[in-house]
Amino acid sequence: MDPGSLLMLREHRPTILIALPSVLFGLVRAKNARREDFSSFRLLCAGGDKMPLELALEVTALSGLSVNELYGMSEIGVATINPPDGLNKAGSIGRQIVGYQISIRDDNGNELPPGAQGRLWINSPCNMVGYWGDADATRATIRDGWLDTGDVMKIDEDGYLWFCGRRKQIIVHDGSNISPQDVEEALMRHPAVAIAGVVGSLTPSMAKMSTRS
């Protein structure tokens, strides 16, 4: 984060910040950052990527504010948020916003109970009509007015959603589904790790098996 970002906070005194986690990371790790720099804020929101728990703790320790995570896509708008006037569950992307319907489904389209991981489907007046010039992608994404986000989620008994990873990013190892975000958070708990990124990789033997199939 360049020094100018802190200078902008000090000069303009914004009251609301909605940013990527990487932006918050830069702010709290910036040299000479202090609590007074965040004193004008009434609300801090993060979206666009999973908020690492360690980063959320750093933000709170420095600013005294909790981070309200939200979730949205270009195809649907902003669909969930940790309510600013209600319970903010750290690590959750919050509850659905009024006007949105959500459904957690398995690969066969069956709705799953609370606590079970599945793909998040969204239905709302904000849903896109379709992908421009790509009827195949539209048909694969939208069914009966519901849009398949491709994100793996679970919902708890209070209606709060928890992001478990993108379907295409899930790492399958020995029959287990591993979320890269879970591994990243575990790594970032170590004091010697500043930031982590996890991706799956094929071993030579796995690559041969994939080629044969």
- The predicted pLDDT at position 123 comes to 97
Per-residue pLDDT of the chain (213 residues; tens, 9 = 90+): 455 678 889 999 999 999 998 889 888 888 889 999 999 999 999 998 888 888 889 999 999 999 999 999 999 999 999 998 889 998 899 999 999 999 999 989 999 999 999 999 999 999 999 999 999 999 999 999 999 999 999 999 999 999 987 655 455 454 455 666 667 666 767 777 766 766 666 555 444 433 343
Alpha-carbon distance 57 to 48, whole Å? Answer: 19
Q: How far is CA 176 from the centre of its chain?
A: 22
CB 26 within 8 A of CB 7: no
The alpha-helical segments, DSSP class H, found in the chain are 3-12, 21-29, 53-63, 135-141, 180-188, 204-212
